[in-house]
């Protein structure tokens, strides 16, 4: 299997999170973008302020790698107006994919009307510009019942408000990779959580993000039905190696 077209190579640390200077962090982003170009991955997933840089490198290389970015990251609890402005700027800078974080804590509090509005308006913005939209639900913060409910909420909002031919451009995504869990507990995609997402997202697609570190694990996720895999270990996975990266 040519697995590279499933892989969204991901680097989402800020300079302070990585313990680096801004210039050093930019060089890491450049190395990830170049690796994505060289390896012909589906996409490079980076922070919004790095989108223009990535697009410039990809265009100069005549590469087909797409650029993705995260919106209202990592908690999804900012003002909706600000998230939409952030997405608009990312689109203007050349982002192909917009990975919004749904306000999963608001969902857990029962604030369903707000979450529905968030999903509706974010999806509408992305699709109106012919972009891919993904909704990160943060499975590590949810129990199984909540995973089912939130996945179904996103699916139902898309099916009720958009055309059938647009469904393929909307995903439900498992994780940010930045959620803090108890020691030994996964903070990314797991087989059980992804199964629940796939069962309840159709006809939308699912992206498994975080926790996939080997070629075999990637194949297992693909066999379940995921269409994208978000990982900071894309090259290791593609080459059949085992990665020790945390995402």
Catalytic residues: 99, 173, 207
Q: Do residues 138 and 70 make contact, with C-beta atoms less than 8 angstroms apart?
A: no
For residues 198 and 223, what is the distance between their CA atoms, to the nearest angstrom? 11
Tokens representing residue 175 in the block: 């994780």
For residues 182 and 184, what is the distance between their CA atoms, to the nearest angstrom? 6
**Cβ neighbourhood burial of 53 (10 Å; 0-12, 13-18, 19+):** middle
Tokens representing residue 140 in the block: 């590590």
Q: Do residues 50 and 13 make contact, with C-beta atoms less than 8 angstroms apart?
A: no
For residues 41 and 9, what is the distance between their CA atoms, to the nearest angstrom? 7
Give the H/E segment covering residue 199: helix 191-201
Name the β-bridge partners of 229. Answer: 7, 208
């Amino acid at each position: 299997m040519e697995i590279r077209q499933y892989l969204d190579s991901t680097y989402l640390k800020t300079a302070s999170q990585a313990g680096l200077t801004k210039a050093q962090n930019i060089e890491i982003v450049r190395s990830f973008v170049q690796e994505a170009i060289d390896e012909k991955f589906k996409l490079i997933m980076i922070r919004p302020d790095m989108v223009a840089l990535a697009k410039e490198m990809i265009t100069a290389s005549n590469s087909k790698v797409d650029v993705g970015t995260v919106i209202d990251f990592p908690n999804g609890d900012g003002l909706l107006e600000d998230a939409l402005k952030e997405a608009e700027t990312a689109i203007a800078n050349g982002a192909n994919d917009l990975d919004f974080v749904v306000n999963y804590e608001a969902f857990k509090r029962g604030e369903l009307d707000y979450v529905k509005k968030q999903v509706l308006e974010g999806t509408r913005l992305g699709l109106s510009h012919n972009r891919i939209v993904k909704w990160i639900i943060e499975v590590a913060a949810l129990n199984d019942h909540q995973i089912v409910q939130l996945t179904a909420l996103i699916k139902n909002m898309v099916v009720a408000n958009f055309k059938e031919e647009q469904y393929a451009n909307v995903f439900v995504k498992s994780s940010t990779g930045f959620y803090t869990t108890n020691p030994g507990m996964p903070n990314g995609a797991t087989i059980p959580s992804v199964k629940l997402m796939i069962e309840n997202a159709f006809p939308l697609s699912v992206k498994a993000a975080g926790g996939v570190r080997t070629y075999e694990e990637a194949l297992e996720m693909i066999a379940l039905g995921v269409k994208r895999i978000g990982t900071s270990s894309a090259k290791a996975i593609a080459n059949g190696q085992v990665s020790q990266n945390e995402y």
